[in-house]
Structure 1
Amino acid sequence: MIPQEIIRRKRDGDELDAAEISSFIAALAAGQLSEGQIGAFAMAVWFKGMSRAEIVALTLAMADSGDRLQWADIDRPIADKHSTGGVGDNVSLMLAPIAAACGLAVPMISGRGLGHTGGTLDKLESIPGYMITPDADLFHKVVKEAGCAIIGQTGTLAPADGRLYAVRDVTATVDSIPLITASILSKKLAAGLETLVLDVKVGNGAFMADRGQAEILAQSLVEVANGAGVKTSALITDMNQPLADSAGNAVEMRNCLDFLVGRKADTRLETVVLAFAAEMLVKSGVAASSDEAERMARQALSSGKAAEVFARMVSMLGGPADLIENPDRYLAKAPVAKPVPAARSGWLGACDARGIGVSVIDLGGGRRHPADRIDHRVGFSELLPLGTRVNAGEPIALVHAADDAAAERAAAAIAAHYRITEDKPELTPVIAGLI
């Protein structure tokens, strides 16, 4: 394999065969390619694109670049969900235990925050003792005995993706649909999944602000995953406002615990969680219809079984066994809590969801640089949903900050991120489509 010949062919718009792609990715994983060669390949793909067959080959090659997890001793369907990222999006934290309580095994490999979007792992690290990188044996044991485990990617799982992504990040090639597709799915294939449900977000708080581009990405992900042998579907969901009423790390973990004990019913968040639970159960063959699957998911919540699964997962991965019963004992609180008053009376008509995510980072709840330490205490809670009628001076959110000055800045930012209108707005449905 001559790397520059593969790069040249892709640069010229030729279709690469599976053997060429496999040899290139094998050389990448083995450290035999320069960063210049990797960057040139990524840029050629960015400009010329890839066929479905090429994307499938790229995905499989990256999945095969490291270990593949095996679940032969688990007699449940192996299923997972992946989100393209949003603000106040803590769906995974509740969805995994609900799905497990309904009979699925969920080995969920999650990530940290990326840009303005929050990361599941950062939220979990607000729990004292929780291990996000257990060894393979413990990961397997937790999935088998608790039903689910939410952890981070290990260095042996799709390592080619890690090196390729690092180069893409500094060569302006992150936003390539073939490369996004292969990056997401290679890790999911390596996890040994049988079924996968994808949450492709669209709106001003998502990476895909345009509905058409979100649908193109969702279609690519679904077709490639199914082509690689994993039964997959995607829901396109709205991210023009935070999904939960909290944005941050410990505050979103509290939101998760409240959800699991029934204190977040009839919310946009509940709609999305139950929709994904239903899709996972139907895709896996556990339920015959979406209605039956939703009833199962609601029963898992109301009976307390989903909360029990979550508690067992946390305990087995090193966290406190009584987190759900005593969250204040373990989840740190910021020293300053400041309400954000509505500037005038009217309807919450629109908001800048991305701006809210950036404001979490400004408080210290996210990273400007990869090595930054996160303050898990800070963020926003009690965020009112769009379409709410407010009076001047009424709180529309609560800031959690490390000091008074930071709280003042964040409160001013949040007030600026919301638009109050005289007329009640027409809101976009939280679930915009199924692919």
Structure 2
Amino acid sequence: MMTSPALASGPLSWQQESVVRSAATCGRECLWTAFEIPSDVSNDELISRLGRLVRREHSLRIVAVDPAGVGYADAIELPIRYARCSGPGGVPEFVARNKHVEFASGRPRWQLTIIDHRDPAGRPARSALAVFDFMIADMFSLALLRQELCTGVAPSAKRGAGRYREWVVRQRAEFDVDAVDAVSTARAFWDEHLGGASPSGSTPLPGVDDAAPDQVGGTVWLSVPVPMSAADLAAAARRAKATPYTLAVASVAATIATGTAEDDVTLRVINSGRVPDAAATFGRLATSTPIRLNRPGLAGFDVAVAEVRAAWRRVLPHQHTPWEYLRTVCAGRGVTEWEAAGQRQLVVNFFPAPADGLGAADFADKRADLRMTHVELLVVPLVSGGFMFRMMCDSGDLDVESVRRFLHVLADGFTAHVRTVLSEDGRVPEPRR
């Protein structure tokens, strides 16, 4: 039970508003992270660190989210569970069974499970599984949680720690949709960066066909394994003087340019939404921003890396711009309704941390009666090694099998591009079949 029924309310962030609208169609979603608890951190110490984090972070005391706003509790009882696993696959199997949670109304919208198990050598070990309602956190927040619980080091207030509510107020003031006609730094930047292109313009998708006229619509998830180690990707990034994220986006751009002969490609990228003084803010800050790549020879991977690196550096200080603000400010710049070309914009979502506990069920095709207004590629590093490439599209808009072929082309391109950077002779290896 909550230790205090007193509630304070606050506005939704732009990102929460987006998720509230989506939830009406597709239901609640969960984010989760599993990690080993250091052997020198007792359960009591872990709980003490968690309690300190909860007292500081407003987002962890959210107990209600609806279109009217967010409800914060003054204090909560920590939602901690305990479990025990046996066998070599105990923890991954436990995670697979428990990574989705139904959060009761009026209760914290997250929970932490402490798991006793054995390590590969048979020694006693502990892991933790934290599950969050998609409404109140993002993947970067989960990384902040892991870091503080494992190290005991709290982030500085100068980097945004404990200031989620203040961040929401600031964001709404900076990006006021009721004042979109006014000259602003954000609007001036995006006008210059996009150069007249629509922020939600269609991305060329080589080899992807329209759905048959009688095809039933709905979201389809398609996934393929990619046997590229995180270590190889990191080594390639160092050699290319880039980040793994930049290499992944550049690979997508180069693959598209190769298949279409297009040198002007606008993608949409998922990012943390954090500027330096909000870098340690815990909550739902993740957003998406357009990135325009416009350079001759974009099909060449080295050219694509240079262009993505330069464009991302320009976008980085503005990554907290809400998508809703961009859509409103840039209204009339091309067609953005579902029935027109804007629905085929490709969104690239590179996960910041390796995912654990994914099994055959996570790679299987999935369907839902949710209509999508874009195509999304998820690049997910796996604790078990390699990556998962997952693509989401609408089966009423695009032929699913042609999307599956395109997904394999993207995965093969990623593998070939990284190996080319790592190879001494620069030859592109044969793609997987």
TM-score by length of 2: 0.27
TM-score by length of 1: 0.27
Name the one with the larger strand percent.
Answer: 2
